[in-house]
């Protein structure tokens, strides 16, 4: 008996195969979170994670836009290695585009599945659906290491909700009204002609018919098209809502995440909760509207935090807290300067310059990053060294007992030794900051001196002068309308985290030495890149009707989730 007990104890160290809950917010800025210094937005649940775990202050995303950042997160590799970075289109804009995470890429989900984990993705995917036919689902989560998927294969876009868009709010109802009037008129004229009451020629009837049809097409293409084809919810391979009813979506996602944990509490499980918040159109439940001090955006952040709290409550109730690693981060920085009708639709990146889609500036890539695992990770610890969202891949793979693939470059590093305090320095000496497929900047963490250098080789041109943001759109281009710097713009982030004062050879004695060291590392990095198919090329990112997920017979795709009126939303 005694022997048996010993046996069990030695072969089963307490912490083998923890459950893993990865929560990724969308477009949340580092300055939007309480434990990162925001004292007016309330995020008590994220703050609780930080109090009970380890908070990273230099957590860097591989790109400042969704699709490439998420591809890197899932694979632990710079998006350029999987072909998920491009100059033509930087993100997927259609569910029915053929580009996406290639099948030969290995996600952490795939490896954890092999290690006996039940893996689930709830929320946003945004790295592709199908390649050649409507249902091949070559890029779909179920083909990339997830046993279960519920959510949107793309992302939220403004068109998913009509109240924020110009067309939606003002023109759409008017358009629709006239469409119906015209259709009615057409019907009357046709009936009149058929019954002989009206003496018009068939030519007039058909011209009228054509006019009505064109009017409808113009209404549909400016209002209904994107919404119908992009704003959909799927469960596994099946389309469940088309178009999604946004009022219900956040609660559907929340309940799916909780149900996944409850179904799999025997563990081990991995849940990737990829939140739809706080991306526009900032769909917020009635309970949270008007609650924050920061308008619609703040309300949306507070609801997101509440959802995080519900997940933590579920872990507590099921007694899973002590054997579950919880991670919280944002896919990249907040979007700046996005306002419609005076309403701010983006967040705040604190002291960091720039934001979503602005090249290599810090605000677009430095995000909140928190790990909690009571009893294993110290509580209340703060780590300032550089870490990357790509580190999640090797970290969770190794926690689950798996091995990272040996046949390819993995850019992430196992974070456990750093999080547990077994080593004092991050393993990242260099990190590279891409904009599309262009390398815009690189950082060098000089361990001996503790200095953190960042060199910008290319920066977007901000308009007007002195303003942070680009003229034509909230997202800056990567290769047109940019400034090339040689020598690069060099900053010492350890003294100037806001990238406000570029160094010069006269202000910084080691200027040239630092620059040449970074350039050498950059060349070395670039030597490890191999050509791969460009997943986001122009051809791979256009809408291809034959790939369109549809819950009926294409193009007649309409369906709704049945939510029982008694179900609490
Ligand atoms: C808190 O977040 C809001 C919303 O993004 C922002 O407007 C505000 O400036 C932030 N406050 C601080 C102190 O960072």
d(CA 102, CA 143): 10
pLDDT in tens, 347-388: 999 999 999 999 899 999 999 999 999 999 999 999 999 999
**pLDDT recorded at residue 45:** 98
Per-residue confidence (pLDDT) for residue 74, from 0 to 100: 98
Residue 28 CA to residue 19 CA, distance in Å, equals 25
Ligand 1 closest atom vs CA 31: 14
Residue ranges of alpha helices (H) inside 293-447 are 295-317, 362-365, 392-399, 416-420
Strands 19-25 and 148-152: unpaired
| Distance from Cα 31 to the centre of ligand 1, integer Å | 6
What is the distance in A from the centroid of ligand 1 to the CA of 41? 7
Of all protein residues, the one whose alpha carbon is nearest to atom 12 of ligand 1 is 38
**Which of these, 121, 103, 155, 148, lies nearest to 238 by C-alpha position?**
148
Determine if the pTM surpasses 0.95.
no
Which of the residues are catalytic?
A: 66, 126
Listed in order, strand segments (DSSP E) in 263-393 are: 269-274, 324-330, 339-340, 343-344, 366-372, 381-383, 387-388
Contact by Cβ (8 Å): 174, 167:
no
**Residue 342, pLDDT score:** 82
369 Cα–ligand 1 center, Å: 18
For a ligand 1 pocket test, name from 41, 298, 345, 349 the mutation site with the most ligand atoms within 8 angstroms of its C-beta: 41
Domain spans in the chain, listed from the N-terminal domain onward: 19-162+227-545, 165-223
Nearest residue (by CA) to ligand 1, atom 11, is 38
Q: Determine phi and psi for 427, rounding to 5 degrees.
A: -80, -10
| CB-based pocket (< 6 A), ligand 1 | 31-32, 37-41, 294, 297-298, 347-348, 350
Burial level of 171, CB count in 10 A (0-12/13-18/19+)?
middle
Ligand 1 pocket test, pick from 25, 30, 40 with the greatest ligand atom count within 8 Å of Cβ, gives 40
CATH topology classification for 19-162+227-545: Alkaline Phosphatase, subunit A (3.40.720)
Which residue numbers in the chain have pLDDT < 50? 1-14, 164-167, 569
Residue 380 C-alpha to ligand 1 middle, in angstroms? Answer: 23
Q: Which of 330, 348, 363 to mutate to test the pocket of ligand 1 (most atoms within 8 A of CB)?
A: 348
Ligand 1 centroid to residue 335 C-alpha, Å: 13
pLDDT at res. 257 = 98
pLDDT of res. 217: 75
Atom of ligand 1 minimally distant from the CA of 348: 5
Q: Ligand 1, residue 298: give the atom nearest the CA.
A: 4
What does the pLDDT look like over 444-463, one tens digit per residue?
Answer: 999 999 999 999 999 999 98
Nearest CA to ligand 1 atom 10: 38
């Amino acid at each position: 008996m005694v022997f048996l007990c010993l046996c069990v104890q030695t072969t089963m160290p307490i912490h083998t195969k923890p459950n893993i809950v990865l929560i990724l917010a969308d477009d949340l800025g580092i300055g939007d979170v309480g434990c990162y210094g925001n004292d007016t937005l309330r995020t008590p649940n994220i703050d609780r994670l930080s109090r009970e775990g380890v908070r990273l202050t230099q957590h860097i995303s591989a790109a400042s836009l969704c699709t490439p950042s998420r591809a890197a997160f899932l694979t632990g590799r710079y998006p350029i290695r999987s072909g998920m970075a491009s100059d033509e289109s930087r993100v997927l804009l259609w569910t029915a585009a053929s580009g996406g995470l290639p099948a030969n890429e290995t996600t952490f989900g795939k490896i954890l599945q092999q290690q006996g984990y039940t893996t689930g993705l709830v929320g946003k995917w945004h790295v592709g659906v199908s390649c050649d036919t409507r249902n091949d689902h070559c890029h779909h989560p179920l083909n990339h290491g997830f046993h279960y998927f519920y959510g949107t294969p793309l992302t939220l876009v403004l068109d998913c909700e009509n109240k924020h868009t110009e067309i939606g709010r003002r023109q759409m109802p008017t358009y629709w009204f006239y469409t119906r009037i015209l259709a009615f008129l057409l019907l009357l004229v046709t009936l009149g002609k058929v019954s002989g009451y009206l003496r018009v020629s068939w030519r007039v009837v058909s011209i009228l018919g054509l006019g009505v049809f064109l009017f409808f097409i113009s209404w549909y293409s400016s209002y209904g098209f994107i919404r119908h084809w992009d704003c959909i919810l799927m469960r596994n391979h099946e389309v469940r809502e088309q178009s999604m009813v946004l009022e219900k979506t956040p609660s559907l996602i929340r309940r799916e995440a909780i149900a996944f944990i409850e179904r799999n509490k025997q563990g081990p499980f991995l849940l990737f909760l990829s939140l739809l918040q706080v991306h526009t159109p900032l769909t917020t439940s009635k309970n949270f509207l008007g609650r924050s001090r920061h308008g619609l955006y703040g309300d949306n952040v507070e609801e997101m935090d509440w959802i995080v709290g519900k997940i933590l409550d579920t872990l507590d109730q099921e007694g899973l807290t002590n054997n579950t690693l919880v991670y919280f981060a944002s896919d990249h920085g907040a979007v700046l300067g996005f306002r419609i009708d005076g309403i701010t639709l983006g967040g705040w990146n604190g002291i960091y310059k720039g934001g979503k889609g602005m090249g290599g500036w810090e605000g677009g890539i430095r995000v909140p990053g928190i790990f909690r695992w009571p009893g294993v990770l110290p509580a209340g610890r703060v780590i300032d060294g550089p870490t990357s969202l790509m580190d999640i891949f090797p970290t969770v793979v190794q926690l689950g007992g798996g091995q990272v693939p040996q046949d390819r470059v993995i850019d992430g590093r196992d974070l456990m030794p750093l999080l547990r305090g077994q080593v004092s320095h991050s393993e990242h000496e260099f990190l590279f900051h891409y904009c599309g497929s262009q390398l815009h900047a690189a950082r060098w963490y000089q361990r001996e001196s503790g200095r953190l250098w960042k060199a910008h080789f290319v920066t977007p041109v901000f308009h007007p002068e002195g303003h942070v943001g680009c003229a034509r759109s909230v997202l800056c281009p990567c290769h047109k309308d940019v400034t090339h710097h040689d020598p690069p713009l060099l900053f010492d982030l350890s003294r100037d985290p806001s990238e406000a004062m570029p160094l010069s050879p006269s202000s910084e004695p080691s200027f040239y030495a630092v620059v040449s060291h970074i350039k050498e590392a950059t060349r070395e990095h670039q030597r490890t890149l191999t050509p791969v198919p460009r997943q986001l090329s122009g051809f791979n990112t256009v809408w291809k009707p034959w790939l369109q997920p549809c819950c009926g017979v294409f193009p007649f795709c309409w369906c709704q989730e049945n939510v029982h009126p008694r179900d609490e939303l």
